Amino acid sequence: MHVMFMKKVIVGISGGVDSAVAALLLKKAGYDVEGLFMRNWDSMLNNDTLGNPNFQEDICPQEQDYNDALKTCEILGIKLHRVDFIKEYWDYVFTYFLDELKKGRTPNPDMLCNRFIKFDLFKKEAMKLGADYIATGHYARLQNGFLMKAKDLNKDQSYFLADLKKDQLENVLFPLGEYTKPEVRQIAKDAGLNVAEKKDSTGICFIGERHYQEFIKNYLKPNPGAIIDVATNKVIGTHNGLMNYTIGQRRNVGLSGDEKRHYVCGKNVAKNLLYVAFGDDNNYLYSDACTLDNINLMGDLPPKLHAKFRYRGEDIPIIIEEIKENEIKISYPTLAKSITPGQACVFYDHDKCLGCGFIKDVYKNNEKLWYLT
């Protein structure tokens, strides 16, 4: 970590262990550190406007996180600011999330949050506070202006940062990039931080611990339709809305009483059909090419490189087949599983992240998989 003595850094303090240790490391390195807590979702939001006065959104405990952040900053002896981006989060992230679900795609709101909130609005707010740099608790590295994978590949979060514009990474610090998660936990314990043992947050903040389908139906009206056995093309059940399912899903499909193993292998949004395959044969989930849209590149793409199709997914060798203005077609000689429309395909040249595109259409043997949205 390059030290700039007494340069001011505003750290995104979330109330978790990672951002706390990021602030600690920067303070030890000689920076003038202050924290900024973002409130992106109204955890007490009432759903009266959507016709359900009994719905109370109380599953994203941001007030507890804020209290934890306050205590952390008190221990560190740094100031904590607070800012609300609730409207902006709704406009730039949550609306996108709902729109993608309506299209039958599987969205990744975390990437939009990073692009439009954490590394845009947050950064602007930090500059108002006199920041020379901003910092977050992401596990990633920066090298010669390029986004790189973190030392801890099990925690590497470069995937979620791949939709950032290159200039958004200017004046940014990732203090945890050279540390493993166990090392971060130990640093927090040694420093007596209140969040040293705090459980990592999982899933999407605005859903929290709530049952996904119960949450979604408060915003998108359920639209039941037929479940089709892809092998026989026969109706075998009823789904409760395509927005509740994703490619490869095995649980909560809606085939109660059927003990045979099954998984979601496709959707037809126009006809409101959900396709399911049975048994352990995953053939329907494999593809060898796809097209990507909403391209964001941080550097030139070599003809051959690797891609990651989901967070924690393996790096898969790919070949760039065609590049258009805002669309790229790629192929992968080794078949890939559950390539899901709406998810990000992130490009890597070894550890260097070169950007991403979002999966549009999926192909196998030069034929578009018609039953994939």
Confidence at residue 53, expressed as pLDDT on a 0 to 100 scale: 40
Instruction: Using pLDDT thresholds of 50, 70 and 90, give the confidence band for residue 326.
Output: confident
Taking the C-alpha atoms of residue 66 and residue 84, their distance in angstroms, rounded to an integer, is 12
Taking the C-alpha atoms of residue 88 and residue 234, their distance in angstroms, rounded to an integer, is 45
The sheet with strand 225-229 has its strands ordered as: 234-239, 225-229, 273-278, 262-268
From 41-50, 119-128, 201-210, 330-339, the region with the lowest mean pLDDT: 41-50
Instruction: Using pLDDT thresholds of 50, 70 and 90, give the confidence band for residue 61.
Output: low
Nearest Cα to 298, choosing from 185, 148, 133? 148
Confidence at residue 178, expressed as pLDDT on a 0 to 100 scale: 97
Taking the C-alpha atoms of residue 257 and residue 332, their distance in angstroms, rounded to an integer, is 38
Instruction: Using pLDDT thresholds of 50, 70 and 90, give the confidence band for residue 46.
Output: very low
Model confidence at 325: pLDDT above 90: no
Nearest Cα to 226, choosing from 294, 272, 169, 284? 272
Confidence at residue 20, expressed as pLDDT on a 0 to 100 scale: 98
Q: Is the pTM of this model over 0.85?
A: yes
Percent of the chain surpassing pLDDT 90: 76
Confidence at residue 1, expressed as pLDDT on a 0 to 100 scale: 53
Nearest Cα to 146, choosing from 248, 288, 298, 310? 298
Confidence at residue 203, expressed as pLDDT on a 0 to 100 scale: 64
Chain segment 215-232, per-residue pLDDT in tens: 888 899 989 999 999 999
Query: Are the CB atoms for 20 and 188 separated by under 8 Å?
Result: yes
Chain segment 88-135, per-residue pLDDT in tens: 999 999 999 999 999 999 999 999 999 999 999 999 999 999 999 999
Structure tokens at 362: 């999926």
Taking the C-alpha atoms of residue 314 and residue 64, their distance in angstroms, rounded to an integer, is 35
Question: Average pLDDT in the 265-273 region?
Answer: 94
- Structural domains in the chain plus CATH codes: 8-190 (3.40.50.620), 222-278 (2.30.30.280), 285-368 (2.40.30.10)
Mean pLDDT of all residues belonging to the chain:
90
Question: Average pLDDT in the 15-25 region?
Answer: 97
Active-site residue list: 113, 205
Structure tokens at 174: 């990732």
Question: Average pLDDT in the 179-208 region?
Answer: 88
Question: 80-84 and 133-135 as β-strands: parallel, antiparallel, unpaired?
Answer: unpaired
The angle formed by the CA atoms of residues 153, 156 and 161, to the nearest 5 degrees, is 150
Query: Are the CB atoms for 118 and 12 separated by under 8 Å?
Result: yes
Q: Side chain identity at 15, as an amino acid letter?
A: G
Within 197-245, residue ranges assigned H as helices are 212-216
Confidence at residue 43, expressed as pLDDT on a 0 to 100 scale: 63
Greater model confidence, 37 or 373: 37
From 57-61, 132-136, 147-151, the region with the lowest mean pLDDT: 57-61
Confidence at residue 103, expressed as pLDDT on a 0 to 100 scale: 92
Taking the C-alpha atoms of residue 20 and residue 184, their distance in angstroms, rounded to an integer, is 10
**From the centroid of its chain, how far is CA 178?**
21
Question: Average pLDDT in the 249-261 region?
Answer: 77
Q: Which helix (H) or strand (E) holds 286?
A: strand 286-297
Structure tokens at 1: 């970590």
Taking the C-alpha atoms of residue 364 and residue 341, their distance in angstroms, rounded to an integer, is 14
Greater model confidence, 373 or 283: 283
Structure tokens at 175: 């203090």
